[in-house]
Structure 1
Amino acid sequence: MLLPHGTVIAVIDAHNFRLFRNIGDEANPELAEAPAPRLDTHNHSGASHHGSTVTMAHDAHAAAAVEWLAQEVQGHRIAHLVVIAGPRSLGELRKAYTKGIEQALLGELAKDLGEARGPEILAQLRGR
């Protein structure tokens, strides 16, 4: 997968939301971790389905992450986006994608890389 300069890679798991930006170019990508945004999960109760408290908390986290990404895309602060999340989380994220996110999205990876560093993430993206 080619990652243009400035591409944002969002790594989302049940508890964390990490952001990386490609500070290199397409031929030689280099990921720099950006400060993690603070998410407001209080307005995302996960009330759309009945499940465990843990499941609802994970879904609320995913919804808050997508909301933050949508605001960044709409504000033209993210032009190119890659989303990495575990399979279940990625399914929840996809339900909330906006048209803007869909247009900015270069790709997705259904893998739990919540603790991975930049080089590990690049290796996984190249392995696609």
Structure 2
Amino acid sequence: MQLAKGATVAVADGEKFNLFRNTGDEANPKLTALASPDVDNDNKSSGTRHHSSSANPDGGQMEEDSFAAGTAAVLNRQVLAGKIKDLVIIAAPRTLGELRKHYHAKLSDVLAGEIAKDLTGHSVKDIEKTIAAA
């Protein structure tokens, strides 16, 4: 995948959210970490309602879905404020599905690509390699 100079890369899972900017060029991306914005995790109504069961005994999935909704809200605000012109989202597959439910139309317009892979906690080099291989 080509990554435009100045593009924003969001890397998320159900608990962590990191932002990077491509300070390199399309052929040689170089990701620079940006300040990670605070995510409002209070949206308990996001997605479907989850009840405790043997598959989800602690209700943790609701927390992860709420975090994904909060992450989408942060990205939506930044896109609407003109801070993000090109965006690539890399997220754990389930988180990516939840994020998509909350995309604003303008976010969809600037979305250059999505990668369904959990790379939170990975090095910047791993993220750059994954983008280059996509």
Q: TM-score range by the shorter chain?
A: over 0.9
> Which residue of structure 1 aligns with residue 49 of structure 2?
49
Q: Is the 8 A contact 2:72 2:102 kept in 1?
A: yes
Shift of 1:119: 1.2
> Which residue of structure 1 aligns with residue 36 of structure 2?
36
Deviations 1:67-110 (A, max 9, x none): 00000000000000000111111110111111111001000000
Deviations 1:8-44 (A, max 9, x none): 10000111000110011112210001111111112x0
**AA paired with 1:32?**
T
Q: Is the 8 A contact 2:88 2:112 kept in 1?
A: yes
Gaps of 5+ in 2: 53-58
What SS class does the counterpart of residue 96 from structure 1 fall into? coil
Percent identity, aligned pairs only, is 39
**AA paired with 1:117?**
S
Match runs of 1:14-93 below 5 Å: 14-42=14-42, 44-46=43-45, 48-52=48-52, 53-93=59-99
Gaps of 5+ in 1: none
Q: Is the 8 A contact 1:46 1:57 kept in 2?
A: no
> Which residue of structure 2 aligns with residue 106 of structure 1?
112
Query: Considering only CA atoms, is the larger Rg found in Structure 1 or Structure 2?
Result: 2
Q: State the TM-score, normalizing by the size of structure 1.
A: 0.94
Please list every run of at least 4 consecutive aligned residues from structure 1 whose deviation after the TM superposition is greater than 4 angstroms: none
